[in-house]
């Protein structure tokens, strides 16, 4: 009798359930030759970009040629898959051979907005005498989506050129949505 031809079956798909747009992801799966002949076949990572829930009609994102003897198996890894070109949303993806596929779902999340520090509630004297020290305060709010440290400065347009000359500054670290009062004493 003729031996059964090579048959590459896919199992144990390992992939993240979510990622942030721009992240790289790693995907792996076990591939076993359940046939009775050795062969080399293309194993591909595919992503459903047309939204039909299937990867069978999709172009290969990455491929590897895998050689397996009859009854042998191996783990195939696809590393550093870039998600930058994917819009936020849910995608079917998976590993495919000419004989079998294994699929999973991944959610691509929108990246957090960068830190954005805003100043409000400035409290400074309207007038002062030359040579006197003043105290100035304000609230600083991070209305961005990420924690950051930024320099917050107080300045005056002393030479009337339309730009502020910095008189004092301090570094402020704020989490997303956090507000902190900042005070400059003895200016």
Give the model's pLDDT for residue 56. Answer: 87
User: Is residue 162 classed exposed, middle or buried when 0-12, 13-18 and 19+ CB atoms within 10 A define those classes?
Assistant: exposed
- The owner of tokens 């359940």 is 34
pTM greater than the 0.75 cutoff = no
Give the model's pLDDT for residue 8. Answer: 98
Question: What's the pLDDT tens digit per position in 122-152?
Answer: 999 988 888 899 999 999 999 998 899 999 9
Contacts of 129 (CB under 8 A, 6+ apart): none
CB atoms within 10 A of CB 63: 14
Within the chain, which residues score under 70 in pLDDT? none
Give the model's pLDDT for residue 157. Answer: 85
**Taking all residues of the chain, what is their mean pLDDT, rounded to a whole number?**
93
Give the model's pLDDT for residue 186. Answer: 86
């Amino acid at each position: 009798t003729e031996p059964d031809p090579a048959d590459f079956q896919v199992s144990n798909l390992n992939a993240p359930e979510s990622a942030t747009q721009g992240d790289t992801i790693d995907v792996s799966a076990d591939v076993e030759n359940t046939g009775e002949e050795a062969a080399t076949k293309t194993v591909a990572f595919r992503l459903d970009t047309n939204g039909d829930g299937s990867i069978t009609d999709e172009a290969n994102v990455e491929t590897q040629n895998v050689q397996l003897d009859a009854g042998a198996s191996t783990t195939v890894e696809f590393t550093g898959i870039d998600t930058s070109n994917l819009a936020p949303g849910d995608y079917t993806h998976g590993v495919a051979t000419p004989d079998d596929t294994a699929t999973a779902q991944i959610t691509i999340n929108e990246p957090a907005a960068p830190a954005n520090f805003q100043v409000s509630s400035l409290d400074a004297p309207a007038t002062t005498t030359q040579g006197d020290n003043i105290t100035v305060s304000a609230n600083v709010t991070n209305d961005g989506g990420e924690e950051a440290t930024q320099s917050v400065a107080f300045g005056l347009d002393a030479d009337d050129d339309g730009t502020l000359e910095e008189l004092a500054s301090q570094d402020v670290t704020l989490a997303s949505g956090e507000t902190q009062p900042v005070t400059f004493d003895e200016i």
